[in-house]
Structure 1
């Protein structure tokens, strides 16, 4: 079951990433991405995956130590749950970047690589976007 949930976590976020990257200007892409509910499918996968191990997981999170976390991560249910959580977080970050870039009218061809980076490494994509959005916004504003 954990393997299925691990795969499902990815499959439930892919459509939202596809809309933001492949069809960023389509009005339905913006409407769908504007909803915070796009995070729910991944969070449902998280809840199903974490349910069997929630008592142990919660106890470790209340008093974490490296050995205890390492032991938790030996459980496939925990790995599937944490994977779903990471994917939900990446989507949250990507959604914010997408919506902010649309509001600032930053060209989608500039944003596509940033969003792909957000899928892969959101801790790098977020500061990168923050660094480039001001100059790009100014360029858009001057051109308007």
Structure 2
């Protein structure tokens, strides 16, 4: 059962990721990405996997050390709960990157691969995004390019 929940965890987050990457200009994508409620299905799976190992989980987070954490993740439900927590926070981070990219006028062909990097290695995705974000200023001409309906820059 835990193995199936582990597998399902990313699948319930995947539709939001897919919309942000492949349908960034669809009006429903921005509305969905603006909601923190997108993580509730993942957090529900977290709760189901965390409940049976809550004493071990609490020990690992309240007095963290590598051996206690290793013991937690050696349990199927422990590893599943940690995975679900990672997926939930990565999704929230991806939504923030998506929304900030839109606000700053970062082209979807830049944001899409950046979101894929964030799915796979969120610390690297965040660092790359922070560099991009630091190079842009909201409201500046370079931060708000206009695009034609196929996503290519149009002539000003």
Per the normalisation by structure 1, the TM-score is 0.92
Q: Which residue in 1 is equivalent to 2:152?
A: none
Change (3 A) 1:142 1:97: closer
Match of 1:140 among 121, 140, 143: 143
- Would you say how many aligned residue pairs link Structure 1 and Structure 2? 144
In the TM superposition, what is the alpha-carbon distance from 1:26 to its structure 2 partner?
A: 0.1
CA shift at 1:110, angstroms? 1.1
* Alignment check: 8 A CA contact 2:50 2:77 kept: yes
What's 1:120 paired with? 120
Higher relative contact order (CA 8 A, sep 6+): 1
Distance, in Å, in 2 between the alignment partners of 1:39 and 1:5 is: 15
CA distance in 1, matches of 2:115, 2:63: 35
Moved more, 129-138 or 11-20: 129-138
Question: CA 1:92–1:142 in structure 2 vs 1: closer, same or farther (change >3 Å)?
Answer: closer
Residue 57 of structure 1: CA displacement? 1.5
Deviation at 1:60, TM superposition (A): 3.0
What do you get for the CA RMSD once the two structures are aligned? Answer: 1.7
1:90 aligns with 2:90: yes
Shift in alpha-carbon separation, 1:69–1:140, aligned structure 2, 3 A: closer
Residue 73 of structure 2 is matched in structure 1 by 73
Q: Kindly indicate which of the two structures has a greater share of residues assigned to helix.
A: 1
- Secondary structure of 2:135's aligned partner: helix
